[in-house]
């Protein structure tokens, strides 16, 4: 990777991935774009605008694109037609751009790519995928499109099925797992959190430093070792809101949680697996998460204390 473009760079994953890539590859080699770019970033980019996308790639001789621009699950379920337009027309534009300019591509899939018929515990790398949300349908379609562009046109497309991502620097926007980030801000501010998922809703999660390491490790892995490509299951921990609250209470004894279930996001979460098997990622490119639940909670609270 020498010249890197990130789409959706102002988002939860994009903002921290941009900073890490700039530290590792040099700021002059990493270009951040977003429909609503950060104040000091030059590139306002709607990924549905193919000419604008190609202008950036040609101007800077981009050789790798981390394509993160998309609507997340809860927002996508409220505006499904717009979600398909942005998520899929954006992706096909990026794939075509990669084909025309010989760029490598990182595409983030998600646990949302699975549905209620998928084994929920120890979810296999290769299994049935019949998601029931527009976000999940976009993710499965994206996985298949990326595989197609690799087989048919030789595009070096790679990707991960991320679980919920937890970070302290940029808040997520419109996801079903956002509770696992919002809870920390509420714990710091008011010592109480009203959770929109049921107490026993178990989901895979990952701390942002591991999510970023996974993306960069996969993109720099030896292609010859990859049997899978565009949808590696990766997870670091699996917990319920009740378990997360209990871990926070170890640091903030007076912290309390209540449950006011949002039917839309509960239905989305109930359609996702509880814990994925990520042995393929470990075997094919050395995936090794560093943060489990206790370490993540400690680091999150420390980071928020130092920024409040
Ligand atoms: C969402 N945070 O909730 C995203 C993610 C696995 C969940 O894809 O939509």
Q: Is this model's pTM higher than 0.75 or not?
A: yes
Q: Within the chain, which residues score under 70 in pLDDT?
A: 308
CA-closest residue to ligand 1 atom 4: 175
Residue 308: predicted pLDDT: 67
Residue 1: predicted pLDDT: 87
With a 6 Å cutoff on the Cβ, whether 202 touches ligand 1 is no
Closest CA to 62 of 14, 11, 28, 15: 28
pLDDT in tens, 11-32: 999 999 999 999 999 999 999 9
| Interval between CA 100 and ligand 1 midpoint (Å) | 30
Tokens of 33: 């774009």
Please tell me the class of the 165-204+236-274+290-307 domain. alpha beta
Compute the residue count for the chain: 308
Which residue stretches of 60-205 are H helix?
A: 73-78, 80-84, 90-101, 134-153, 179-190
- Residues designated catalytic: 135
With a 6 Å cutoff on the Cβ, whether 73 touches ligand 1 is yes
**Atom in ligand 1 nearest the alpha carbon of residue 108:** 8
Residue 109: predicted pLDDT: 98
- The C-alpha torsion from 266 through 296 and 23 to 106, rounded to 10°, is -40
| Interval between CA 258 and ligand 1 midpoint (Å) | 22
With a 6 Å cutoff on the Cβ, whether 176 touches ligand 1 is yes
With a 6 Å cutoff on the Cβ, whether 12 touches ligand 1 is no
| Interval between CA 71 and ligand 1 midpoint (Å) | 10
Q: Is 166 exposed, middle or buried (0-12, 13-18, 19+ CB in 10 A)?
A: buried
Crossing angle (nearest 10°) for helices 241-249 and 293-307: 60
Pocket probe for ligand 1: among 162, 204, 241, the residue whose CB has the most ligand atoms within 8 Å is 162
Q: How many C-beta neighbours within 10 Å does residue 173 have?
A: 13
**Atom in ligand 1 nearest the alpha carbon of residue 163:** 6
Tokens of 7: 């789409």
| Interval between CA 175 and ligand 1 midpoint (Å) | 5
- CB distance 246 to 255 below 8 Å: no
- CB distance 289 to 103 below 8 Å: no
CA-closest residue to ligand 1 atom 5: 164
| Interval between CA 29 and ligand 1 midpoint (Å) | 29
Rounded alpha-carbon distances, angstroms, from residue 219 to 138, 157, 215, 229, 257: 22, 9, 6, 10, 39
Domain ranges across the chain: 4-164+205-233, 165-204+236-274+290-307
CA-closest residue to ligand 1 atom 8: 110
Regarding the domain with residue range 4-164+205-233, which homologous superfamily does it belong to in the CATH classification?
A: NAD(P)-binding Rossmann-like Domain (3.40.50.720)
- Outline where DSSP puts E strands in the chain: 4-7, 30-34, 43-44, 64-67, 104-110, 121-123, 157-162, 164-166, 192-195, 203-207, 232-233, 237-239, 256-259, 275-276
User: How many Å apart are CA 230 and CA 150, to the nearest integer?
Assistant: 9
First CA to last CA distance, the chain: 36
CA-closest residue to ligand 1 atom 7: 164
Helix (H, G, I), strand (E, B) or coil at 19: helix
User: How many Å apart are CA 249 and CA 290, to the nearest integer?
Assistant: 22
Rounded alpha-carbon distances, angstroms, from residue 212 to 21, 42, 75, 151, 244: 9, 23, 24, 26, 22
């Amino acid at each position: 990777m020498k010249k890197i473009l990130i789409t959706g760079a102002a988002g939860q994953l994009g903002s921290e991935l941009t900073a890490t890539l700039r530290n590792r590859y040099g700021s002059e080699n990493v270009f951040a774009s977003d429909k609503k770019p950060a104040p000091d970033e030059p590139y306002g980019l709607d990924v549905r605008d193919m000419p604008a996308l190609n202008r950036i790639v040609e101007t800077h001789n981009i050789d790798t694109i981390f394509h993160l621009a998309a609507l997340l699950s809860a927002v996508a379920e409220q505006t499904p037609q717009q979600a398909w337009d942005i998520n899929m027309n954006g992706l096909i534009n990026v794939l075509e751009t990669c084909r025309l300019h010989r760029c490598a591509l990182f595409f983030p899939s998600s646990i949302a790519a699975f549905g209620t018929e998928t084994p929920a515990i120890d979810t296999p790398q290769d299994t049935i995928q019949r998601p029931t949300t527009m976000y999940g349908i976009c993710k499965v379609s994206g996985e298949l499109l990326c595989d197609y562009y690799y087989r048919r046109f030789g595009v070096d497309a790679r990707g991960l099925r991320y679980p919920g991502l937890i970070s302290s620097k940029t808040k997520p926007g419109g996801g079903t797992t956002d509770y696992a980030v919002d809870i920390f801000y509420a714990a710091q501010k008011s010592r109480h959190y009203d959770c929109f998922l049921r107490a026993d809703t178990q989901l895979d999660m990952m701390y942002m430093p591991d999510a970023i390491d996974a993306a960069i490790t996969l993109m720099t892995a030896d292609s010859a070792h990859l049997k899978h490509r565009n949808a590696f299951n990766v997870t670091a921990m699996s917990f319920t809101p009740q378990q997360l609250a209990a871990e926070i209470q170890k640091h903030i004894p007076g912290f309390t949680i209540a449950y006011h279930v949002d039917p839309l996001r509960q239905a989305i979460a109930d359609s996702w697996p509880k814990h994925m098997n990520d042995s393929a990622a470990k075997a094919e490119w050395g995936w090794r998460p560093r943060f489990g639940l206790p370490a993540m909670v400690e680091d999150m609270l420390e980071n928020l204390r130092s920024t409040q």
